[in-house]
Amino acid sequence: MTVDKGSDVGPGCLFCRIAAGEAPATILYQDQEMVAFRDSHPVAPIHVLLVPRKHLVSVAEAQEADADLLGRMMLRAADIARKERLEGDFRLVTNSGPQAGQSVYHLHFHLLGGRRMRWPPG
């Protein structure tokens, strides 16, 4: 299967444009290396996306040099969950590749909460 990975940094990548303030989003948090915003089609009462400003396609394509960034993003997700009053009860997930359901090819974590989650995921 041919997948359009939207690998162009800048105009070709939706999440690069959101991170740059060039496309609209409800931003909850941002710093020099990441941005968190509400998902436009939430699948849970709380559905936040965390993206690195650096254009990484997916976790599968991340490098050792990205390890600290990815770790800080997970800790930031937990902090956002606290601010969203999820009381430590949430799911943090990243889809990598078409079979896993990735539709935007700029690495992102989904922070989901506010309802009971099922396992295994569909």
Catalytically annotated residues: 108
**Residue whose CB is less far from ligand AMP, 11 or 87:** 11
Pick one of 20, 22, 40, 85: the residue that binds ligand AMP (CB under 6 A).
Answer: 40
What are the beta bridge partners of residue 92? Answer: 111
- Is 102:96 a contact under the CB 8 Å cutoff? yes
| 58 near ligand AMP, judged by CB under 6 A | no
- The gap from C-alpha 79 to its chain's centroid, in whole angstroms, comes to 14
101 touches ligand AMP (CB under 6 A): yes
Phi, psi of 18 (to 5 degrees): -65, -45
Q: For ligand AMP, which stretch binds (CB under 6 A), given 3-11, 36-44, 63-71, 76-84?
A: 36-44
